[in-house]
Structure 1
């Protein structure tokens, strides 16, 4: 299944029983905003999943701002929302796919493969005068039979070891300013992991939509050079927008990269780890 779905394609499938929509709207500076927006209005039948409460594990001060959730715990939450591993899931947000891509990656990690992100998200749906509702959908719980593929991600120890024995190339999805340590507002330390490259996730978009596959492929191959996607590990501030880069690579036909879920927020929590600016 292709990783993106257009508004027109979604409208044609909207009331089919196998389709399950998930509203992933979120605001990093106002963590209640996404749920409030969902309760005000959302796409028909959409469930809501919260970035902090559902798509991340609890923080302990050392594991980053959005730690990778426990697979069994996430599977229980998905099942309670009526989502099985065989469901056709379409995730959307109002942030260019930044939060929807997190759910896309998590579902792929747990073994689901019928997962898409709505290209253009909430804004594109509104622009098309798509149907909206404000009621909570009736849900029949199911079992999500998770089969997590832990080869899809690496640990902080893997990243630390990579500094002395290079096995992969890190690519940081944060803005160029945050990457070099300018204007850091979310984490206590500015800068980046030594030897990381930078590809701002917003560069995957044009006018709120993902760029065409051939454009993304051309742009990413400039960064990749002779590397294959499997040689790349993606990170950001907390393992969220790095998933946007992984989604863009999937759109470009360059799948295979891995995620460092803890990302910069986990890395910089230990003052003994090196920092580059």
Structure 2
């Protein structure tokens, strides 16, 4: 069983945050309060960190299909990396202050771009501050570098793939990462139609974390015990953001075949012909 380490501890960051070959990305954000993250970053951040905004840098233009947080134009994302002084040899570590969901989105995009040394900081900004480690309001302008992407298209599942598995035309597993009440259709605070994609099973993304840190590998393996690793595995959430922590969890448990459905549930319901289910499967 192949395991891939995708997180770094705060103790590692404490020893390496001044390393010239390390770039720190601050991804703090609040849904419904889009200016929160940038404002918080300007007030204080880990020294040397640059800011990536969920909706401006880690998402693209919202259209009829594609969900609420479609993937960004990758040329724009690569340009942002270059402007942040990131090249292919840079170790990139990412944090937020919301249990890792926004950081995991950025981590996933880095992996999608083909970046090997990309990690989420366990404990995030709150964990850093709890240890009374240095923070600053200073914003550094890094010299631009050249980045050569190697887009990993196999990390993505298209809506057609999801449709085939949902209709049982293709064997596979759909994992819904949202809160239980949303999956069951008992509550839907964001999307216009409650429920889930037919055939999907529910594994809340927060179950892979404790106190803002991802669980150890052994516990991640227990979490996904019994999952058939030979079948196609597609992970979704509401808009492709909180699915990313589940993918990180699956990868660490050895399920390297876990793919993201980027548009997720908000894309699924944008097609009038698609059915949704409520309650247990």
Is 1:196–2:207 an aligned residue pair?
A: no
Aligned counterpart in structure 1 of residue 13 of structure 2, from 10, 17, 37: 10
Q: In 2, Cα distance between the equivalents of 1:168 and 1:256?
A: 11
Partner of 2:262: 261
Once the two structures are TM-superposed, the CA of residue 2 in structure 1 deviates from its matched residue by 2.3
The SS at the match of 1:159 is helix
The SS at the match of 1:99 is helix
Q: Is the 8 A contact 1:101 1:117 kept in 2?
A: yes
Root-mean-square deviation (CA), in Å?
1.3
Partner of 1:160: 163
Consecutive unaligned residues of structure 2, counting only runs of 5 or more, are none
Q: What are the superposed Cα offsets for residues 154-203 of structure 1, whole Å, 9 maximum, x if unpaired?
A: 11122112224123211011001001112211111111000001100011
Q: What are the superposed Cα offsets for residues 11-54 of structure 1, whole Å, 9 maximum, x if unpaired?
A: 01111110000000010121111111101100000000001110
The 5 Å alignment of 1:159-178 reads: 159-162=162-165, 163-178=167-182
Once the two structures are TM-superposed, the CA of residue 135 in structure 1 deviates from its matched residue by 1.3
The SS at the match of 2:248 is helix
Q: Is the 8 A contact 1:239 1:260 kept in 2?
A: yes
Relative to structure 1, the CA distance from residue 167 to residue 77 in structure 2 (aligned partners, 3 Å threshold; closer, same or farther) is: farther
Partner of 2:35: 32
Q: Is the 8 A contact 1:3 1:251 kept in 2?
A: yes
Q: In 1, Cα distance between the equivalents of 2:230 and 2:74?
A: 25
Q: Is the 8 A contact 2:239 2:264 kept in 1?
A: yes
The SS at the match of 1:22 is strand
Q: In 2, Cα distance between the equivalents of 1:132 and 1:229?
A: 45
The SS at the match of 1:221 is coil
Aligned counterpart in structure 2 of residue 87 of structure 1, from 90, 95, 106: 90
Q: In 1, Cα distance between the equivalents of 2:81 and 2:156?
A: 21
Q: Is the 8 A contact 2:99 2:211 kept in 1?
A: no
Q: In 1, Cα distance between the equivalents of 2:55 and 2:171?
A: 31
Q: Is the 8 A contact 2:162 2:234 kept in 1?
A: no
The 5 Å alignment of 1:224-263 reads: 224=227, 227-228=228-229, 231-263=232-264
Aligned counterpart in structure 2 of residue 144 of structure 1, from 144, 147, 160: 147
Consecutive unaligned residues of structure 1, counting only runs of 5 or more, are none
Partner of 1:219: 223
Per mean C-alpha deviation after superposition, the further-off stretch among 12-21 and 134-143 is 134-143
Q: Is the 8 A contact 2:61 2:70 kept in 1?
A: yes
TM-score (normalised: structure 1): 0.95
Relative to structure 1, the CA distance from residue 228 to residue 84 in structure 2 (aligned partners, 3 Å threshold; closer, same or farther) is: same
Partner of 1:22: 25
Relative to structure 1, the CA distance from residue 146 to residue 219 in structure 2 (aligned partners, 3 Å threshold; closer, same or farther) is: same
TM-score (normalised: structure 2): 0.94
Relative to structure 1, the CA distance from residue 151 to residue 230 in structure 2 (aligned partners, 3 Å threshold; closer, same or farther) is: farther
Relative to structure 1, the CA distance from residue 117 to residue 62 in structure 2 (aligned partners, 3 Å threshold; closer, same or farther) is: same
The 5 Å alignment of 1:113-124 reads: 113-124=116-127
Q: In 1, Cα distance between the equivalents of 2:98 and 2:236?
A: 18
Is 1:99–2:102 an aligned residue pair?
A: yes
